[in-house]
Amino acid sequence: MNSTCVQEVISPCCLVRRSINTVVQLLKRVLAHKNMDMATVNALPYEDFVNLLGNVVEKCPIITAAVWSGRPFLNFAALEAAISEFIDALPESGKEGVLRCHPDLAGRDLRGGTLTRESREEQTGAGMDALTSAEASRVTRLNEEYKERFGFPFIICARLSDKATVLRQLSERRRNERAVERARAVEEVKKICRLRLQALVRDDAQNKL
C-alpha cells in the first residue's frame, strides 16, 4: 500500500466522505425503486434485487434469488416470464410449497397484524378486514375445509376481487379436483406477482395499449 492509500484509508475526513457517499447512494436507490425501469432493475446487485423484489411471490425470496442470474431482462414481460417459468418448472410438491407460503384470507395473520405489507394492502383492499361476523365465520370455516381437502390455503388475487367474489370462489373452488385446483391456485399466485411487480417496476407495455 503506498502512502496516499494509507492516508486515504485512515483520514477521518475521507471516512466521513465515504459514509456520506454510501448514504447518498442508498437514498438514490430507495427513491429510484418506487418505479424502476428495466435498466435499473438489471443493474441491481444481487442483495438489492432480492431486498426489493423478494416478496413478489409471497414469502418466496428464493424465487427472486433464482431469477437474478437471468439478467439482463429485455423488459417487464421477460422478468415476469422468468418468475413464471421458475414456478412452472417446480415439481408439484414445490408448487404446493409456494402455495403454502401464502396467508389465509381474513385469517389469523390479518387479525394479528402479522401479514406482509403487500398482503395486508391486498386483503384490506378486498374488504377482508371488514367482514361481518357471519361472513368472517363462514370464511374461516370454508378456509379450514379447503385446507383440509387440498393441503394448501385457498388463494385468490385479492386486488382483482371483492368480498363477494372471494366468498363465491372459495365456496366453488373447494369442490374442484385437486390437480385442477392446484393449477388454479398457481395462476392466482402469478396474478398477485404481476401486480406486485408492477408496483415496483415500470411496465412500458402497459402504457402502449
Ligand X SMILES: NC(=O)NC1NC(=O)NC1=O
Contact residues for ligand X, defined by CB under 6 A: 102-105, 119, 122-123, 153-159, 192
Contact 83, 77 (CB under 8 A): no
Could you tell me the smallest distance in angstroms from the CB atom of residue 7 to ligand X? 54
The secondary structure of residue 37, as a DSSP letter, is -
Which residue lies nearer to ligand X by CB, 190 or 202?
A: 190
33 an active-site residue?
no
CB atoms within 10 A of CB 155: 27
Going by C-beta distance under 8 Å and a sequence separation of 6 or more, which residues neighbour residue 197?
Answer: 53, 56, 76, 79, 80, 83, 203
Could you tell me the smallest distance in angstroms from the CB atom of residue 25 to ligand X? 32
Task: Tell me if the bond preceding 72 is cis, omega within 30° of 0.
Answer: yes
Could you tell me the smallest distance in angstroms from the CB atom of residue 144 to ligand X? 13
Could you tell me the smallest distance in angstroms from the CB atom of residue 200 to ligand X? 16
- Catalytic position from the list 44, 64, 102, 154: 102
Grid cell listed for 134:
357471519
Could you tell me the smallest distance in angstroms from the CB atom of residue 88 to ligand X? 19
Grid cell listed for 26:
442508498
- In terms of residues, how long is the chain? 209
Of the candidates 160, 154, 159, 192, the residue with the CA atom closest to the CA atom of residue 176? 154
Contact 58, 118 (CB under 8 A): yes
Which residue lies nearer to ligand X by CB, 102 or 182?
A: 102
Which residue lies nearer to ligand X by CB, 51 or 165?
A: 165
CA–CA distance, 154 with 179 (Å, rounded to integer): 14
CA–CA distance, 31 with 15 (Å, rounded to integer): 24
Which residue lies nearer to ligand X by CB, 38 or 182?
A: 182
Which residue lies nearer to ligand X by CB, 149 or 159?
A: 159
What amino acid positions are annotated as catalytic residues?
Answer: 102
